[in-house]
Chains A and B, each alone.
Chain A
Amino acid sequence: MPDGVQLSRRTLLKASAVAGGGFALAATFPMAGRATAVSGPADLNAFITIRPDNTITIVGKNPEIGQGIKTMLPMLIAEELDADWDSVSVKQGMTDAAKYGPQLAGGSFATPMNWMPMRQAGAAARAMLIAAAAQRWGVDAASLATEPGRVVQPGSSRSATFGELASDAAMMDVPDPASLKLKDQADFRIIGRAIGGVDSPKIVRGEPIFGVDTQLDGMVYAAFERSPVFGATLKSADLAAAKAQAGVIDAFKVAANPQASLVEGVAVIASNWWLANKARASLSPQWDNGEWETHSTKAYAQAAKDAWASGKSDEVFAEKGDIDATFAEADRVLEAEYSYPFLAHVAMEPMNCTALMHEDGTMEMWAPSQTPQGGQQAVAGYLGVEPSQVKVHITRMGGGFGRRLNNDYMVQVAAIAKEMPGTPVQLIWSREDDLRSDFYRPAGWHKMRAAVNADGKLTGWADHFVTFDLGDGAFNPAAMDATEFPAKYVDNLKFEQTKMATAVPMGALRAPRSNALSFVMQSFLDEVAHATGKDLPTLMLELTDGVEAEPETQGFVGPQPGFSAPRLQAVTRKVMQMAKWGQPVADGHALGFGFYYSHMGYFAEVVEASLDARGNPVVHNVWTAGDVGSQIINPFGALNQVEGSIIDGIGQAIQLAVEIEGGAAKQSNFHNYPLPRMPMTPKIHVEWVLSDNAPTGLGEPALPPVIPALTNALFALTGKRVRSLPIDPQVFA
């Protein structure tokens, strides 16, 4: 089986004794193209620490947003160490690119990036414990084995706990990671076991572990007033009036810094956040809203219609065959206009960050960030100091969903804290701030065309995508790939796009691009299926019939398997079987299908839906078949991610939209951005299709297919096609 990303030869392992006895293994996981050795003693940089009392501490290096990584990465280490999981405690690592390599909660990347390196680190520590036992007993290391938490010699009574061996193990040679034999899947004791989150006991007791729970001596609170209109500048504000309010310590202007995503506004500092936030009302700010005030979702939608009517686009980004001749000769031509709205992330813990500018000019931060290294660099860049001058503690986060990939709030609090050296400042955004200052999931408009020949075969596929010009960032959430399914499986293709200028900030929302494109592509393919007397899963199987898996490619995380039609086929067939596809369902109910491949995961889903008395969609059952490789590492966390993704997607389909009006977001809180609530929860049936591939992540890929599965079910039920999200019940009237 291909194992995916390995511990690099530049990965440095270093062992040392721990003061008071024990063993510490430091591991350096270099960034691509960079290798910096751990400096100083290993115990201070310890990744794995084993103490004489048998307790084991493992560092969780990545930020925890609820995806379960603080539990899962240590499970991988503990497995190959052959630790007793009950003796393991997990410590959150600091932000340190040189030591840990990428520390990122995003892209469902952590599983493929760490599956082998974490196991190899654990196996190295195990080999050193075995070597220590071999030396102590004067026997061949090859005659020894491990049981959870101890080294044993099968066939003899020799046995020692890891704790007893730890101090000696620190003196052993550190093995070459490549020489280590890892466990066979059948021998896993921890991987594959349903293990609860390591922080969960603290959470149910209300212990302070989230970013916003940070408390420091002498800490003050900051609220930030900005214009709801994107791109606005501040003309004036009554700072004196704010300063006169109860509890207010200071109020001052903060200048914009577009490179650091810092907007212009006023910081209000008080002894209590509620007092700071309340004092904003007395600022009476005057804004210059500039050219962006006229921008609105309605205007963007009109511009899309105008672009389609003109027949002209900015750019053709995928083309093959002879698309014009194909449509001219087609037996049937289908045309449809699809659209989806801006969406917000609304993590339950509103954006916040705590910062302390020390008297020596260094900055210390407690940051709920999905990219703390990016935040560290952004703050260092803003302050004009080296990243090493910015110390960033990684806190647990009350959700991320992609919002905390942007570190604007880190720079904002740094801008405030630098004005008050020696005083810790906690910046908190209100829910209104959070909804109106997001990096939104981009809205998008697609004019789709499909050509079908006399044999009912899909011969042509075209899209004029109207989207936004977001520049050339590292990841563009408003872009579409030239390979977007079914591009590879039709002979004649044309993808073109028109890009609109905007000041609305946009970013990645869980399963970026995929969460929108799945709806458009799988819905329009469902239209093709119906037009040719088939159903969508049958069409998907036909389109990919006999197509072999593509060769390995070089992805963000390293070598990764190419797209595999057989894996698509396997999950499709599996979910058809699970949902009894094609068999009768309850009166007034119907089934719909959706497939999507994203973040290296293959998911096929079937939704059973009906309409309630007021014509609103109700989801009763969701069947899901997923292929994320050879092994589900933690079934507890894995299933939780899938269940959450499905409900998240249903909420987006049925009731969520951010509307831009007057250059600002109209939605402001949960009354007009109504997240799913408990009564909406359907029955969710999940099965894993294991395949011969290294495991990949689950934070995202289960979400995209549920949206078209729902809208396709509603078409099967009513004969009315949903082509715009969120679903407008008027479509079915």
Chain B
Amino acid sequence: MAHRVTINGETREIDAPGDMPLLWALRNELGMVGTKFGCGIGMCGACTVHVDGQATRSCSMPLSAVADKQVSTVEALEQTPVGQALQRAWLDGDVMQCGYCQAGQLMNATALLTNNPNPSDGEIDAAMQGNICRCACYKRIHAAIAKVARDEETANA
């Protein structure tokens, strides 16, 4: 059956079973492949999107559960000031190696800084521990998030 979902501000009709995870609706039904498949059980965070602003594992979120909700993905990340600042910090700090997990890392980090603009080191660790980076670029991911938080604080001072 068709499901109506708002993705990056655009309402889309998706004709797929309601138990299909949002991830596979995005990737194979809509061709939006920025959101990545890593584990399928919500353990790695590669598939993180925002559903009504909350970081959500799209591999474990059935399509039927996102009807009438606002979904945003990495493809729309640069439309938010926090997302754009994080993208910049990711490039300035040369965060990534393979880069495959980074869409999920960025989406999770954007949700973190949107909800808590000035997290402590421990809060960054706690918020990001659901996102695996197999290349283990953790030091740089952490530093990039901390830098955006610091810059934001300076700008508001």
Contact = CB atoms under 8 A, between A and B. Distances in A.
Contacts of B21: 274
A422 interface: no
B66 to A, nearest CB: 15
A641 interface: yes
Contact of A68 (B17, B97, B130): B97
A200 B96 CA distance: 7
Interface stretch (A73-81, A164-172, A231-239, A346-354): A346-354
B24 A204 contact: no
Contact of A670 (B34, B74, B132): B132
A204 B141 CA distance: 12
Contact of A204 (B38, B39, B106, B125): B106
Contacts of A431: 38-41
Contacts of A641: 97
B20 A272 contact: yes
B44 interface: yes
B44 A643 contact: no
B43 interface: yes
Contacts of A643: 136-137, 139-140
A647 interface: yes
A438 B31 CA distance: 29
B41 A671 contact: yes
Contacts of B35: 206
A678 B125 contact: yes
Interface string B121-151: 0001110111111111111111000000000
Main secondary structure of the interface of B (DSSP, over half): loop
A551 interface: no
Nearest to B136: A647
A205 B73 CA distance: 10
B136 A200 contact: no
Contacts of A196: 91-92, 94
Interface stretch (A210-218, A326-334, A356-364, A581-589): A210-218
A67 interface: yes
Contacts of A308: none
A275 B98 contact: no
A430 interface: yes
Contacts of B139: 643, 681, 684
Nearest to A272: B28
A200 B132 contact: no
A663 B34 CA distance: 37
A506 to B, nearest CB: 20
B72 to A, nearest CB: 11
B46 interface: yes
Contacts of A399: 97-98, 100, 134-135
Nearest to B31: A215
A314 B82 CA distance: 63
Contact of B24 (A212, A274, A346): A274
A637 interface: yes
Given A271-B28, A347-B134, A647-B138, A197 B37 contact: no
Interface in B64-91: 73-75, 77-78, 87, 90-91
A645 to B, nearest CB: 8
Contacts of B5: none
A348 B28 contact: no
Contacts of B27: 273
Contact of B129 (A200, A274, A679): A679
Nearest to B17: A246
Contacts of A396: 98-99
Nearest to A209: B99
A206 B73 contact: yes
Contacts of A669: 39-41, 43
B33 interface: yes
Nearest to B142: A678
A104 to B, nearest CB: 17
A207 B33 CA distance: 8
B140 to A, nearest CB: 7
Nearest to A432: B40
B31 A66 contact: no
B111 interface: no
Contacts of B77: 204-206
Contacts of A676: 136, 138
A431 B38 CA distance: 7
A205 B136 contact: no
A204 B138 contact: no
Nearest to A647: B136
B29 interface: yes
A510 to B, nearest CB: 11
A562 interface: no
B87 A205 contact: yes
A644 B97 contact: yes
A679 B132 CA distance: 11
Contact of B91 (A204, A347, A681): A204
Given A272-B20, A678-B138, A428 B37 contact: yes
B57 interface: no
Contact of B75 (A205, A430, A684): A205
Nearest to A215: B31
A540 to B, nearest CB: 27
A651 B96 CA distance: 19
A348 B98 contact: yes
Contacts of B126: 679
B26 to A, nearest CB: 11
A591 B147 CA distance: 31
A400 B46 CA distance: 17
A203 B77 CA distance: 12
B101 interface: yes
Interface string A41-73: 000000000000000000000000111100000
Contacts of A651: 136
B74 A206 contact: yes
Nearest to A271: B28
Contacts of B142: 678, 681
A659 to B, nearest CB: 19
A194 interface: yes
Contacts of A647: 136, 138
A34 interface: no
A207 B44 contact: no
B153 to A, nearest CB: 21
Nearest to B145: A678
A83 B23 CA distance: 42
B88 to A, nearest CB: 9
22 contacts: A66-B97, A194-B94, A197-B99, A199-B99, A201-B91, A204-B87, A210-B100, A247-B17, A274-B23, A347-B98, A348-B46, A348-B98, A398-B100, A399-B97, A399-B100, A431-B39, A640-B94, A647-B138, A670-B41, A677-B132, A678-B138, A681-B138
Interface of B: 16-17, 20-21, 23-24, 27-29, 31, 33-41, 43-44, 46, 73-75, 77-78, 87, 90-92, 94-103, 106, 124-126, 128-142
9 closest cross-chain pairs (CB), A and B: A206-B34, A398-B100, A66-B98, A206-B74, A647-B136, A66-B97, A274-B24, A203-B99, A670-B43
Given A348-B135, A396-B99, 15 more contacts: A68-B97, A196-B91, A200-B90, A203-B99, A206-B77, A274-B20, A347-B100, A348-B100, A348-B134, A350-B37, A398-B36, A399-B100, A637-B94, A675-B132, A678-B125
